[in-house]
Structure 1
Amino acid sequence: MKRRKFFQRTSHLLTLLGASWLGSGKSGLANPLLVQYEKNATPLNRRKLALLVGINQYSSPLAGCVTDVELQRELLIYRFGFEPSDIVVLTDSQGSREQIETAFREHLVKQAQADDLVVFHFSGYGTRIPLASGGKVQNALVTLETGTNGYLDWDDLQQLMRSLPTQKILTVLDTSFSHSQLQLPPNLHWRGYVAPADRIDEVRSLSNPKLPGILLQASENELVAAEKNWGGFTTGIFTYSLTQELWTATDATSISVTFQQTAAQIDELVGKWQKPSLQFEANRYNSIIAANSQHNSILGAEGAIIALDDRPNYVKVWLGGLPTHLVADYGLNSVFTTIGEPENASIILQIRAREGLTAKAKIHSSGSTSPSLIGQPIQEVVRVISRQIGLVIGLNPELERIERVDATSALSNIPTISSVVNVGEQSADYWFGKQPQTLKTGESAYSYALFSLNGDFLPETLGTGNEAIKVAANRLRQPLNQLLATKMWELTENQTTSRLGVKATLETTENSPKTIAQKQTKRSNLISRQLIQPNSTIPNLSPQTSLRYRLENFSDRPIYWLIVGVDANHNPITWEPSKEAIAPGTIRIIPEPSANQLWLSKEAAGLAEIYLICSIAPFDKAIATIQTQIKGKGLLTLPAPLEVAQAVLEDLHQASTIELATIPSESLSAITDAYALDVNSWATLRFVYKCT
């Protein structure tokens, strides 16, 4: 597809930022009629201007703010068609209040016209400062200077915004204004700055007038905004989650849906610590609403070609659309394709080297590496996952030095652990630390345990009080097998990239059935486009709720299915496997109503994580593995989930072999040290809910 045509189709996503909430009342849910648009709603000569600010170099430095700006810049240029010359970037030493205000006035206020779109992004510290009139405090962005000149307060920011001649304004703030009293998990870094006025008793007198346009804020006023290391790079959790969702969004996706999905992703990552918010002035966006779209939908992208490489037939690509859970383990030799049309055939790219979200790819299709390739969006074709995948365990910095030495030695000898790192310095799957306990005697003690990245300790990893680290490490072997199995299932999740037409609905069955969540693949030409509004938080279910899954096959061939996961008691589970395929255009309900079987949510409080995996070929190896471990009907507990996970990936690898043979690439047909999964051959839909 020509770059210009791609931008004509995708620029509507930002145009619709305001329209998505109109008519929604207090619910915040978009009216489906308002997210449609007409072909000529956005004049091609309308400018799109952006000012992006990211500051790491404070006296107490941050690590991810400059990367946030890079994420936004690549998104705006290669996903939404901003001209590079229309984006001004200020980082670190350029981030003084005077420089920010000057850039705002010169680049945005003086250049913007009435129909232009303006984007302002800030990543850095936030705080609260007293109003000049006294008695109240206001939010402020912390700039590079010290003292009273080191803040861009809310009133001044509002005045800058209101001086813009356009009403189409998007503000993104990845910062935190509250002086949080919460103790963050060690893998997260808080973006809040403690100023003299930042006292908890002044929250009630907060002056925080609305900004014009749409405001996407990393966190609600009294919560935190955090940044995280993802494996080789650090970003704000909000910026990465938001930009990743926007990369994979379709033309038909409203910003309301995108925001809900971003919020849900953050809820899973950090839970109670951070909840994003949005604000808007609805009456300013009536002019943007249009109806009866005539556009073909662009089904998202994982990134774009951003430069030619020095070597012939090599290009540099940006992978900003890769899901956050994939980026650390995404394998070399994975394959992508440009989005082509008949007059501009697709090009096959194979990843040969990667650092963070930037990769070098080899072109395997015919044609030259001409400058016209730059800017072309790319979509996943083959996902490569190492067969030596393992868990990365972080060590809590609160452990004593001798404890860290002993833990590194003991944990490194466990086969399921690939590396042991310091929490916060590198990306980790879980972290190892102490959990306080009270013994039966009433004496205080501690036990070593594993913790999720949001700081919750995993009860199944808790031992007896005051144990030795080597004892704890041996005790953790079985739970670690289960955690690795879950990680492997999660690495197959591909709702946004699968071309196998599948839709699944999680429902309650008691009294009148109620839909809890829906998932469907985005890139099948045969899929239904009707979905309920996504959840912004993880759904909560009462104990002993009766559940079922409704699985619809929208593809043109039979599909096979398998359900695996972890229940709220942290037990690895599966539904009794079936070798019977679901015919094209038909529905399978699990459990079947006529089978007199129940799937009940657990009584214990906890998080359930269910993977509904579909394939064009039977799960022969996985079913055989399950049946050697356990016999029975209905919901089954897996004694050895890691063996099942390995068998599932092998089945998906084998199911992909026919498609792989048709792809021009290196190493895929003879690959032995990794699984190669073709997006035309499988789909994994992930459901998460809480039992409370």
Structure 2
Amino acid sequence: MGLDRRTFLQQAGLALFTWGATEAGISSLGNHNRLTALLKYQQTLAQPTNRKLALLIGINQYTAQDHLAGCLMDVELQKELLIHRFGFNASDILTLSDRQATRENIETAFLEHLTQQAQPDDVVVFHFSGYGGQVKMPLASKEETLETTEIARDGFRLANSLIPVDGLSSTKKNLIANSILQETLLVLAQTLSTPKCTFVLDTSFNQTPRSKHGSFQVRSLSATADSPGSQELAFLAQLQHDFADKGLKPSKRSLSLPGIVLSAAHDNQVAVERHWDGFSAGLFTQALTQHLWQITPSSKVQVAIGRTAETVEQVMGRRQEPTLNNPDKSAIAYYFGLSDAPNAAGIISKVDKNNRAEIKLLGLPANVINSYGVNSCFNLVPSAENSAPLQVKSKAGLIAKVEPLALIEPLKIGQLVQESIRMLNRNLSLKLALDADLNRVERVDATSALANIPAINSAVVAKEQNADCVIGKVFSTLEPVTTNSDKNNQPFAYGLYTAGGDLIGETMGAEEEAVKVAIDRLQPQFNNLLAAKWLELTSNEFSSLIKASATLLTPEIKSPLWQRSTLVALDTLPSPKKKLFADTAIEAANNLPIIAKGTEIRINLGNTDDRQLYTLILGTDSHCNIYALYTPAQSTTVDGVVQLEEMAIAPQGELVLPPPEDSWKWKVSESPGINTLYVVLSVQPFSKTLKAFANQQNFKLDQPQVLNVTNPITVVNALMQDLHNNSSVETKLLPNEDVYAFDVNSWATLKFVYEVTNNEQ
């Protein structure tokens, strides 16, 4: 049951507003005249105060649907970001969660907290995390039938809606929606007096069959509501009528929300949430907030959504593509205006009397948080006098408990921190999810077989726990399999899926293969996935103190394809640009760069540091194969033996690979799909890694080549050891010999994520 209006306002912390509304004579009015009275009261407010207002909604505990797990965490991530990164006052942020988030309460809160208070120069943020759905809306006239941009059929159109906690009810024959129509949200947005508004929607509306093999939970309902709720329609009609003086016509539907709209996915896609160790969150919200902790104040919103898309699409591929709907392409994310705001990996959330503290790790990638080791160190930012590193003593989910390594001034809640030493357990392994299609005998056999696979640590239940990949069945028929008996009669093979539910290329076995045999057959793929997991854990362009950049180029286009740099190097670089192998229409529709297979590319590495840097370039293709680019500057021979050549970049110098004058060409992978390129830089040579390369039979010391890494675990372990040795972290900081310790002053990994298409150049 929803809260009554008075109780709702008390629990929401709007007592001051309630007093003001009562003084204006609003509280005694009936519902029919409430909106008109609010408009009149709005005119009595003071002049613009440049306030920053936010309404954050997250719903896990639905009354009539399966519970979600990450929506309340989304709200927490967003709230911490707004307060500590974007300067919002906590008192100006209203959150509605679970039972509070009824349809009536959400719409009331929008009017009274946002519309009522926002002035022309104020900033407004609206965030919704929860289920989305669709509802059948009757077409009122032939004119509407012609005008509608939504799917129209049999006298109705399908309208998107946000599902509140009381969003659905059912009769014997029909499913009735009590949801917030997207049209209602559009009209509510038009009531705001400020154009500086941002809408973040971590939900989806897609009802088409979705992958059953991923390790995630979808945030869209699978059933279509037969009709909208009468109260919602009445509210929408009254809203359109009362705000007609703002230019809205009751008979017309707005085409888009004003300001910036950041959506987790396109309308025909799914938005998902993931389980990590110790916390769950929307894949989109976690990635978005993490990148917003790291971007510079002047960064355009396209930068934030582009980097968010990289993170999301690395997991989900084209199943989920975050979108930006914003007519102003020069807009700053959340209208950020602080030029001196530092980027941060986390924030101090608690301090005890002994100066021990808790840090919320909000600015680190989720996969890095998952593997972050005890004894890692952070520094205060900006640095304070007599400061000392804060060392991690324990970690649970997003919370790390830290202690200063020396006597320092008392720590304060709200202080920002950035990582200085990253420690990772050497015994890293994969978690494999067993798909729901596997029966009990298959699960037992699979678990038994995994005991002999070094790369796998444990088997978990798909969708319920964090997993790196999923083993499941691939049915040979394209016809939908609807019942268990149908599944039992369908021929199938075992295959390996990504966490996002995509079948990994070349992992499908033969029909009638035993699951134990399949797991043994997939061991090379497990090794590749573990190597890729290690490479991901080295990414640190947001915290590295090495001044370096990398630009991808192609002879066909004079401008750079796109550029990456460490944040400390940004002052010495031109603004990053991203160019796609596509026309303007395709560029606007895609977030990831698209490159046709077979395209010739080069990479330009810039060193604006005062130290010589050494580099390795590795990548993963859509089949999860690992490859390395090796282009020796020159070959040397000692006693008739060709020597390994390090790829080095002089201080204030550049290195182009392969050199333009070289006859050898580097071409994009032939495997269509999501690819990732890692540019690893260090202040010392990668001696162990190059020796690991040399142990491969297909490695040629004196020739440039794209090397297919056939011993990925050996190579990656050597790379980790090189980074560890090159960091030279003090022994007293190391808990034991079972960790790698990386100093941000000694290494940087720049990452490019792109999609390879079948259209050959």
- TM range, smaller chain: 0.7 to 0.9
1:119: how far off?
1.3
Paired letter, 1:361: V
Alpha-carbon distance in 2 for matches of 1:452, 1:505: 29
Distance of 2:710 and 2:205 partners within structure 1: 47
Bigger radius of gyration: 2
Q: Which amino acid aligns with 1:690?
A: E
Query: Structure 1: how far apart are the matches of 2:753 and 2:196?
Result: 36
Residue by residue over 1:90-139, the C-alpha shift from the partner in whole angstroms, topping out at 9 and shown as x without a partner, is 11111111222232233223333332212111111122334476444432
1:388 aligned residue: 427
1:466 corresponding residue in structure 2: 512
Is 1:402 matched with 2:431? no
Q: Within 5 A, what are the aligned runs for 1:406-445?
A: 406-437=445-476, 445=491
SS in 2 for 1:600: coil
Equivalence for 2:208: 180
Alignment of 1:306 onto 2:344: no
Question: Which of 296, 300, 307 pairs up with 1:261?
Answer: 307
Cα distance between partner residues in 1 of 2:199 and 2:495: 41
| Partner residue of 1:358 out of 377, 395, 399 | 399
Identity across matched positions, percent: 38
Amino acid at match of 1:46: N
- Aligned pair count reads 626
Distance 1:296 1:90 in 2: 31
State how 1:10-25 maps to structure 2 within 5 Å. Answer: none
Change in 2 beyond 3 A, CA 1:230/1:474: same
Q: Which residue of 1 aligns with 2:236?
A: none
8 Å CA contact 1:252, 1:297 repeated in 2: no
Provide the C-alpha distance between the structure 2 equivalents of 1:437 and 1:132, rounded to a whole number of angstroms. Answer: 40
Shift of 1:322: 0.9
Contact 1:144 1:150 in 2 (8 A): no
Give 1:323 deviation, angstroms: 1.1
Alignment partners' CA distance in 1, 2:721 and 2:688:
8
Equivalent of 1:223 in 256, 269, 272: 269
Helix, strand or coil: the match of 1:549?
strand
Aligned residue type for 2:90? P
For 1:231-242, list aligned pairs within 5 A: 231-242=277-288
Q: How far off is 1:52 after superposition? A: 0.9
Letter of the 1:274 counterpart: Q
Deviations along 1:257-305, whole A, 9 cap, x unmatched? 112222232222212222222334659989x999xx9x75545211211
| Contact 1:127–1:198 under 8 Å retained in 2 | no
Measured after TM superposition, the shift of residue 346 of structure 1 is: 4.5
Aligned to 1:648: 719
Separation of aligned partners in 2, 1:607 and 1:114? 43
CA contact (8 A) 1:263 1:275 kept: yes
Q: Which piece of structure 1 moves more, 77-86 or 596-605? A: 596-605
1:102 — aligned with what? 108
Q: Are residue 616 (structure 1) and residue 683 (structure 2) matched?
A: yes
Partner of residue 499, structure 1: 545
SS in 1 for 2:567: coil
Residues 78 and 289, structure 2, Cα contact 8 Å, conserved in 1: yes
Match of 1:490 in 2: 536
Is the contact between residue 339 and residue 346 of structure 1 (CA under 8 Å) also seen in structure 2? no
Contact 2:177 2:226 in 1 (8 A): no
Note the alpha carbon deviations across 1:242-270, whole angstroms, 9 max, x for none: 11111111112111211222223222221
2:73 alignment partner, one of 67, 71, 74: 67
CA distance in structure 1 between the aligned counterparts of 2:625 and 2:335, rounded to whole angstroms: 48
Paired position in structure 1 for 2:591: 537
Whether 1:522 aligns to 2:522 is no
2:50 alignment partner in structure 1? 46
Tell me how far 1:389 sits from its aligned partner. 0.5
2:89 alignment partner in structure 1: 83
1:626 corresponds to 2:693: yes
Residues 113-192 of structure 1 aligned to structure 2 (within 5 Å):
113-131=119-137, 134=140, 135-145=156-166, 146-147=168-169, 150-192=178-220
Alignment of 1:269-418 (within 5 A): 269-280=315-326, 282=328, 297-309=340-352, 312-341=354-383, 344=385, 346-370=387-411, 373-418=412-457
Please, which of 107, 111, 128 is the counterpart of residue 117 of structure 2?
111
Which residue of the partner structure matches residue 195 of structure 1? 224
Q: TM-score, normalization: structure 1?
A: 0.84
Distance in 2 (CA, whole Å) between partners of 1:250 and 1:241 is 16
**Match of 2:43?**
none
Q: Hey, what does 2:498 align to over in structure 1? A: 452
Does the Cα contact within 8 Å between 2:491 and 2:511 map onto a contact in 1? yes
**Residues 198 and 592 of structure 1: is their aligned pair in 2 closer, same or farther, counting only changes over 3 Å?**
farther
What does the per-residue CA deviation read over 1:165-204, in whole Å, with 9 as the maximum and x for residues that have no partner? 33322211111123234335432222122232499xxxxx
**Match of 1:542, as an amino acid?**
A
Please give the alpha-carbon distance, in whole angstroms, between the structure 2 residues aligned to 1:537 and 1:113.
33
| 2:601 is the counterpart of 1:547 | yes
Residues 139 and 208, structure 1, Cα contact 8 Å, conserved in 2: no
Query: Secondary structure at 1:599's aligned position in 2?
Result: coil
Mean Cα displacement is larger for which, 128-137 or 189-198?
Answer: 128-137
What amino acid sits opposite 2:447 in the alignment? T
Q: CA deviation at 1:158?
A: 3.1
Which amino acid in 2 is paired with 1:62? L
Give the Cα separation in 2 of the matches to 1:165 and 1:542.
46
Cα distance change on mapping 1:437 and 1:322 into 2, 3 Å: same
TM-superposed CA distance for 1:517, in Å, is 2.7
Amino acid at match of 1:47: R
1:43-91 superposed Cα distances (whole Å, 9 cap, x missing partner): 9963211111111112222111111111111111121122222111111
CA contact (8 A) 1:260 1:534 kept: no
Instruction: Please list the CA deviations of residues 280-339 of structure 1 after superposition, one character each: whole Å capped at 9, or x if unmatched.
Output: 4659989x999xx9x7554521121122136x1211111111113322212222111111
Q: Which has the higher contact order (CA 8 A, sep 6+)?
A: 1
CA distance in 2, matches of 1:639, 1:675: 23
Residue identity opposite 2:746 in structure 1: S
Partner of 1:32: none
How far is the alpha carbon of 1:594 from its aligned partner?
3.5
Residue in structure 2 matched with residue 690 of structure 1 by the alignment: 755
* Residue aligning to 2:653: 586
Match of 1:638 in 2: 709
The alignment yields a C-alpha RMSD, in angstroms, of: 3.0
Which stretch shifts more, 134-143 or 326-335? 134-143
Alpha-carbon distance between aligned partners in 2 of 1:515 and 1:610, rounded to the nearest angstrom = 16
Measured at CA, do residues 138 and 361 of structure 1 come closer, stay the same or move farther in structure 2, by a change above 3 Å? same
Does the 8 A contact of 1:526 with 1:554 survive in 2? Answer: no
Distance 1:541 1:164 in 2: 41
Cα displacement (A) at 1:551: 0.9
Structure 1 residue 478, shift from structure 2 partner: 2.3
Change (3 A) 1:680 1:397: same
Q: 2:6 is matched with which residue? A: none
Question: SS state of the match for residue 581, structure 1?
Answer: strand
d(CA) in 2 for partners of 1:208, 1:649: 54
Query: 2:615–2:682: 8 Å Cα contact kept in structure 1?
Result: yes
SS at match of 2:296: coil
Contact 2:561 2:578 in 1 (8 A): no
Q: Does structure 1 retain, via aligned residues, the 8 Å contact 2:183–2:253?
A: no
Deviation at 1:514, TM superposition (A): 5.5
Preserved CA contact (<8 Å) 1:521 1:527: no
* 2:619 equivalent in structure 1: 565
Cα-to-partner distance string for 1:356-411 (whole Å, 9 max, x where unaligned):
212211122432435xx211111111111110001111111111111112111211
TM-score (normalizing by structure 2): 0.77
Take 1:363 and 1:474, find their aligned partners in 2: how far apart are those partners?
47
Matches within 5 A, 1:663-674: 667-669=732-734, 671-674=736-739
- What letter matches 1:241 in structure 2? A
